[in-house]
Amino acid sequence: MSITYEKAHEYLLNSYGNGKKKGLDIMRQALTLLGSPQEKLKIVHVAGTNGKGSVVAMLSSVLSETGYRTGAFTSPHLEIFNERLTINGQMISNEDFALYMADIIDISEQLFEKEDCFSYFEILTLLAFHYFKEKGVDILLLEVGIGGRLDATNVITKPILSIITAIGMDHMEILGDTIEKIAAEKGGIIKENCPVVLYDDQPVVYNILKDIAGSKNAEVYNAADFRLKPLEKDSSGTEYVADFKDFGQIFGKLGLAGDYQLQNAACVIAAASVLNQTDINISDIHLKNGLKNAKWPGRMESFETYPKIILEGAHNLQGTLAASNNIKELFGNKEITVVLGILNDKQYDEIVKILTAPASKVVFTKPNYDLRAVHPKDLVNCLDPISPPTEVHVEESSFNALKKAIEITDKDGVIFCVGSLYLVGDLRSYIINGKINLPSIIKE
């Protein structure tokens, strides 16, 4: 079968509406028909509520510095599907996307009757294993979609390492309504005799994960043993010092901004230490340069304009609290305008209060094409009645929302765009592709 990129794109979009999750057994059947590519790859499996994408971005950058051909499978994307599959930071081409998607469609048609198929994420997961195997990557960094235990990525049997980042309350309708239940679902990626790096922000979570690891004879590495000491921080990143027996003393800078990236970087350094016990060789220079050069679009991404524009994809309670604190710390002395849109499967009443707290002005909006978006007029009702922003606007169009924010914000102020990765993707597209008139506000 041969198809165009447009046809592959259309098939994926249709699966989002029609494809229902089929389960791991039939995923394994499909992978067998593909030649079991997941069994032929060295895989680092990454789960967590917050930080897993940043950890993948940083670890990918570190491994690329060493010369390893490093694949990364992440989600969601900001603008196009191709972003989800990268090799050394370069996303899959349209030609390869269509080529390998044709194989997935063919197998789906073998396994299902007409008008049925794998779910959207299952298709992308099958594509990832197939693509990265065919391209001969040395290491695949595999990010979980939702949860862990029943996630489509959990068809793998023996990763070289598992990493579980910060865990919070998100996707409760799927994973459970307590932090303990969610932790147990995330811990489902831990495999027999495979090492695991754990983030230790909550003792109850850490202990649950440690017990799961113990039951599977999986050696645990605590990211707390690899913490970095911050020296200076701004919107371009954080300067730090670190002193570890495996790497010596390192003075460096994280390329990703935000206090929480220090904890994510600790997970990466712990992972590098574990990987160095295998046939992978990561030096202190590789580590330093990789952490500095890591890029993760839409996560505290700063555009040096007047006013400054910052895009942040925080979209759950834990993530938005960290983002709000970062904005207050970095720009508390400036006028802050928040552009905010949220999906209805989030705790949006609380998220609105958290994200508007540092702002004097707010523009409520919504992502362009997601039917789950809360109407911006309904978000107004979630504002703190005791200390609301001085100026509130509603724009149903995300394009008009950004235009409005530029119009009402002082040249020395900050526009903080947040609340949904889908909204951030819309706004980033306007900026990167020149769809919105920015030249008059670019710094001279």
Residue 169's CATH number: 3.40.1190.10
In this prediction the pTM is 0.92
Say if residue 252 is in the same domain as residue 395. Answer: no
Say if residue 226 is in the same domain as residue 317. Answer: no
Name residue 305's beta-bridge partners.
Answer: 442
Locus of tokens 């394994």: 28
Say if residue 325 is in the same domain as residue 399. Answer: yes
| pLDDT tens sequence across 208-234 | 999 999 999 999 999 989 989 999 988
| pLDDT tens sequence across 316-343 | 888 888 889 989 989 988 999 999 999 8
Nearest-angstrom CA–CA distance, 183 and 317: 16
Say if residue 360 is in the same domain as residue 214. Answer: no
Which two three-digit tokens encode residue 332? 């508390």
Residue 367's CATH number: 3.90.190.20
Q: What percent of the chain has pLDDT over 90?
A: 70
Say if residue 273 is in the same domain as residue 312. Answer: no
Say if residue 56 is in the same domain as residue 169. Answer: yes
Say if residue 317 is in the same domain as residue 273. Answer: no
Pick the last residue of a domain from 293, 317, 336.
Answer: 293
- pLDDT score, position 99: 97
Nearest-angstrom CA–CA distance, 258 and 298: 13
| pLDDT tens sequence across 76-125 | 898 899 999 999 999 999 999 999 999 999 999 999 977 789 999 999 99
Overall domain count for the chain:
2
Say if residue 250 is in the same domain as residue 379. Answer: no
Nearest-angstrom CA–CA distance, 337 and 393: 11
Mean pLDDT taken over the chain:
91
Nearest-angstrom CA–CA distance, 70 and 76: 19
Say if residue 351 is in the same domain as residue 368. Answer: yes
Nearest Cα residue to 130 out of 172, 180, 92, 177: 92
Say if residue 389 is in the same domain as residue 408. Answer: yes
30-34, 125-129, 151-155, 168-172 — which is least confidently predicted? 168-172
Say if residue 287 is in the same domain as residue 306. Answer: no
Pick the last residue of a domain from 293, 323, 338.
Answer: 293
Say if residue 235 is in the same domain as residue 93. Answer: yes
Domain range enclosing 433:
301-441
Pick the last residue of a domain from 256, 271, 293.
Answer: 293
User: Does 241 have pLDDT greater than 60?
Assistant: yes
3-state secondary structure (DSSP) of residue 373: strand
Name residue 139's beta-bridge partners.
Answer: 70
The Cα-based distances of 73 to 35, 89, 124, 245, 323 in angstroms read 19, 11, 9, 31, 24
